[in-house]
Amino acid sequence: MRAVWIALTAACLGEAAVFLFLVWPRPLHLSAPSVAQVTEVSEAGARIYMPQRVLLGRLGEYHDELFAFLMLDHYGSAPELKGLPVMLRADEGEGAAGYSIWIRLPDDLVRGTSLLAQLRADHLTSEVYYRWVTNGEFRTDMERTTLLTEAYSKPAPDSLDRLDDSELKTYLGSFIRFKSLTDTRIEQGTDPRLCPLSEEQAVRLAGDMIAVSRFYDVPLSLMLGIGAMENNYMNAPGDLTHTIWKRRPERGDIVLERRRRRVLVKDDSLGVWQITRKELRRAQQLYRKDKRDYAQLPSWLRPPKKLDWDNVEPAVLTTYAGLLLRDLLNRCHDDVVQAAGAYNGTLRHPNLRYAKGVQLVAQYAQRIAGNAAGVDPLPASANVPSVLMPPGGLVRTSLVEKQTSLPLTN
């Protein structure tokens, strides 16, 4: 019995100790933000702000630094963002995309979120998302953005030959995808036929352009400029209503009208390079007479011996574009500007305004790709306190990555 009493006593003491541990008063440590939102109401209206903080709005997230810089440059030239500082941040941590672009908003939550909502309506962002950051963090990000911009703004190299094929494909792929995603028709959704290139498609097209430009000894920058000017590298038909009169129809022609000794046929254009039916026929004729060893080209770039006018592979159209440009260069005595103008005009009447556009795009692409290899990765954003606050009541959607004179030379 004595042992039983001892055991019962020990159990009671243990339960009492547990009870006292649970209910005994102890100091409670709470972490509270050092600053809080302040609301001011005046005759002018309400203002919500955070002392010693800067309000930023996020425009986009990206995993590729070069692509993120191209978007930064794009946003910096947008009229809707005139006067608003735009910055590129390197993000880290679980779930981070890698890089994000932010703008400084008015330090008033009401005005700031209203501006973001307007930018969303203008297709400059697909979300309404903001954060308060310290003045120090804002200055750091602006300084890093300035350094990155200066690195990419160095003069364009005379040649991209110093880059190996892997680097060149990657950099040009980013540029090609950027151009397709920032096409006005894509951003505003005005042409349902157009589809921006995926990262894989853009890199594949870049590789095809490199191979074709080398095979025909055509300046790569010329192909880059024309691909952007024609359709921003997107594979879609164009000039659907364009027609021409001919003496007689040829194989593959779609006859719309017949008159004495003449026929009216369709002359719409195809793909990235907007090659018309007339130009496609000429390209096939040039190919049949060509003495080059086409076994040096990848199999998917080799034209077929017999052309199916209505089913030409997009990659083969890149080969035809290179062949047509080589022919124009030969006939223009390697005058790149004249050849570019003749691509969109004629040999007698080259479109020199178009050629100037080709030149500007080529310069921009060459500068970006040429400098990309020497740019150090942007360091991660300073690890200082910030307050992320997706505003209640506003729609927040997942962001889709949106996705310009030097002589034109290789």
pLDDT at 408: 45
Q: Please give the residue that has the higher pLDDT: either 189 or 225.
A: 225
Report, as an integer, the average pLDDT of 238-248. Answer: 64
Residue 278 CA to residue 285 CA, distance in Å, equals: 11
Q: How far is CA 48 from the centre of its chain?
A: 35
How much is the mean pLDDT over the chain? 81
Residue ranges of the alpha helices (H) in 79-219?
A: 109-121, 135-152, 165-181, 184-188, 199-216
Residue 23 pLDDT grade (very low, low, confident, very high; cuts 50, 70, 90): low
Q: Among 11-25, 238-252, 345-359, which stretch is predicted with the lowest mean pLDDT? A: 11-25
Query: Which whole number is the average pLDDT over 190-211?
Result: 92
Residue of higher predicted confidence among 266 and 308: 308
| Domain range list for the chain | 38-154+379-388, 165-372
* pLDDT tens digits along 138-151: 999 999 999 999 99
Q: Which fold has domain 38-154+379-388?
A: Alpha-Beta Plaits (3.30.70)
**What phi-psi label fits residue 333: left (phi over 0), alpha (psi between -120 and 50 degrees) or beta?**
left
**Confidence label for 410 from pLDDT (cuts 50, 70 and 90):** very low
- In the DSSP assignment, the letter for residue 27 is -
Note whether 337 and 354 are within 8 A (CB).
no
* CA–CA distance, 151 with 380 (Å, rounded to integer): 17
- As given in the structure block, the two tokens for residue 9 are 């006593």
Provide the token pair at 357.
């556009």
C-alpha R_g of the chain = 31
Work out the average pLDDT over 3-11. Answer: 58
- Helix segments in 217-333, DSSP class H: 220-231, 277-289, 314-331
Residue 295: pLDDT band by 50, 70, 90 thresholds?
very high
pLDDT at residue 360 above 80?
yes
pLDDT at 350: 94
Residue 26 pLDDT: 53
Spatial separation of the C-alpha atoms in residues 239 and 237, rounded to whole Å? 7
Kindly indicate the confidence band of residue 39, based on its pLDDT and cuts at 50, 70 and 90. confident
CA pair distance 194, 236, nearest whole angstrom = 6
Mean pLDDT score, 372-384: 69
What pLDDT score does 195 carry?
Answer: 87
Q: What is the pLDDT of residue 69?
A: 94
> What are the φ and ψ backbone dihedral angles of 71, each rounded to 5 degrees?
-70, -35
Most confident of the ranges 157-171, 202-216, 249-263, 368-382: 202-216
> Tokens for 400?
């889709």
pLDDT band at 406 (very low <50, low <70, confident <90, very high): very low
* pLDDT 10s digits, 91-110: 766 556 689 999 999 999 99
The model's confidence at residue 8, banded by pLDDT at 50, 70 and 90, is low
Asked if the model's pLDDT at residue 213 lies above 80, the reply is yes
Whole-prediction pTM:
0.78
The winner for highest mean pLDDT among 260-264, 337-341, 403-407 is 337-341
Confidence class for position 42, pLDDT limits 50, 70, 90: low
